[in-house]
Amino acid sequence: MHAIGKRSLLRASAALTAMGVLVCWSVGAETGGAEASSPRLSIIEPADRSVAEGELTAVSIKADDLGIDAIRIAVNGVAMSHIPLEKGRNYYCATGTLSFGPNEIQVSAVKGGKVVESGKVTVFFRSDLSRTYGVSPAGFQKRPFHRKDREAACAACHRMDVAAADIRPQRPEDSLCYQCHSKITAAYSNVHGPAARWDCLACHERQSAPAKYEARTPSRDLCFVCHEEKRGEWAPKKYVHGPTATGKCTICHSPHASNNLSWLKKPSWELCTTCHEDRASGAHVIVGFGSGSHPTRGKPDPTRYGKELSCASCHNPHASDSKSLFINDQQDPYSLCKFCHKV
């Protein structure tokens, strides 16, 4: 190691880090010639060049040398956590929030206020609600954590297999999922029933393989187990909205929690105009009746007391007998207008 020189080693490490390679190295002391190991840092989860389909990601780190003071975690350059090290502890966990597209998760070992070693991984947040990031780039793929080979690193501290207490747990803490995934509900105002009870196994298959705890697909089949009345409501309709027709309820709804009604991933108007951007101005509402535009938000909904005007004021987001998915199966725009504009 001394033959290539400390500066050369630093340059090589910096180059590898820039390429997304986690670098763990040791350098010789400048005096005495004996080698002093620097902290060994490794990112267990998430895997580099992995694909996520939710905004939260668990970050698990192993720090082999307790000579450092703390671990810093940043997502896309924004500090997320500063974790003090504890004597006798090697593994550390945190939860980060992702943005659509590529996310760089940087983990740094800190000693005396200075970064002495760092590593990073890149995670791609793919979403059907993003026109730009709806398809994962080449070289990125889903890399589920709950596989026997990957779980081994955390099994010393965490229970990985289902026990009797996980079947309809009496308290959130009884669920084996809670310790690592508590933030999927903690940060949101509207929590979906199974997630609120931490009845994770109501939706996640404990026998799935090679990755454990996968959710049944398409999500429609899983959702209809509890929401059977919706199947009966939508099945006879002539026209079905795209997400409903594909059976992917989770395009629009979060299966765990949301700050929006009906567990929508975005507020109603923002959700609709993600795909129907050309309808955002409201000009389509009065085409044929005059020029200008019609409000599509920011006003009280005259037909739904206490709710704000949105696309759902006129359109059924799931299915209708109207080609335009008009509410109440109205067939022409004029009859729809009369719901609010009495003549």
Query: Which range is least confidently modeled, 156-165, 283-292, 329-338?
Result: 283-292
Whether 226 has a pLDDT exceeding 90, the answer reads yes
DSSP-assigned beta bridge partners for residue 80: none
Whether 13 has a pLDDT exceeding 90, the answer reads no
| pTM (predicted TM-score) | 0.81
The whole-angstrom separation of Cα 286 and Cα 292 is: 8
Q: Compute the residue count for the chain.
A: 343
Q: For position 32, what pLDDT does the model report?
A: 32
Whether 224 has a pLDDT exceeding 90, the answer reads yes
Element (H, E) at 320: strand 319-320
Whether 257 has a pLDDT exceeding 90, the answer reads yes
Q: For position 24, what pLDDT does the model report?
A: 32
Q: For position 247, what pLDDT does the model report?
A: 93
At residue 89, the 3 state secondary structure works out as: coil
Order the strands of the 78-84 sheet from edge to edge.
50-52, 114-125, 101-111, 70-75, 78-84
Whether 211 has a pLDDT exceeding 50, the answer reads yes
Looking at per-residue pLDDT, the higher value among 158 and 6 belongs to: 158
DSSP-assigned beta bridge partners for residue 319: 240
Q: For position 90, what pLDDT does the model report?
A: 86
CB atoms within 10 A of CB 213: 19
The whole-angstrom separation of Cα 187 and Cα 201 is: 21
Indicate the average pLDDT of the chain: 85
Report CA Rg, the chain: 26
Helix, strand, coil shares, percent, the chain, to 5: 25, 25, 50
Strand 204-205 to strand 214-215: parallel, antiparallel, or no bridges (unpaired)?
A: antiparallel
Residue 11 binned pLDDT confidence (cut-offs 50, 70, 90): very low
Q: Dmax of the chain from CA atoms? A: 95
Q: For position 48, what pLDDT does the model report?
A: 97
pLDDT digits (tens, 9 = 90+) for 182-207: 999 998 999 999 999 999 999 999 88
When pLDDT is averaged across residues 211-240 and rounded to a whole number, the result is 93
Phi, psi of 89, rounded to the nearest 5 degrees: -110, 135
pLDDT digits (tens, 9 = 90+) for 108-129: 999 999 999 999 999 999 999 9
When pLDDT is averaged across residues 6-15 and rounded to a whole number, the result is 41
Residue 66 binned pLDDT confidence (cut-offs 50, 70, 90): low
Dihedral class, residue 52 (left if φ above 0, else alpha if ψ from -120 to 50, else beta): beta
Q: For position 194, what pLDDT does the model report?
A: 95
**14 vs 8, 90, 116, 219, CA distance in Å?**
10, 25, 12, 44
Q: For position 169, what pLDDT does the model report?
A: 93
Whether 36 has a pLDDT exceeding 80, the answer reads no
Whether 150 has a pLDDT exceeding 80, the answer reads yes
pLDDT digits (tens, 9 = 90+) for 302-315: 888 888 999 999 99
- Catalogue the E-assigned strands of 9-113: 27-28, 35-36, 41-45, 50-52, 56-63, 70-75, 78-84, 91-97, 101-111
The whole-angstrom separation of Cα 221 and Cα 235 is: 13
Buried b / exposed e along 174-185 (16+ C-beta atoms within 10 A)? ebbbbebbebbb
Residue 88 binned pLDDT confidence (cut-offs 50, 70, 90): confident
Phi, psi of 28, rounded to the nearest 5 degrees: -75, 145
Return the percentage of the chain with pLDDT > 70, whole number: 88
The whole-angstrom separation of Cα 203 and Cα 218 is: 12
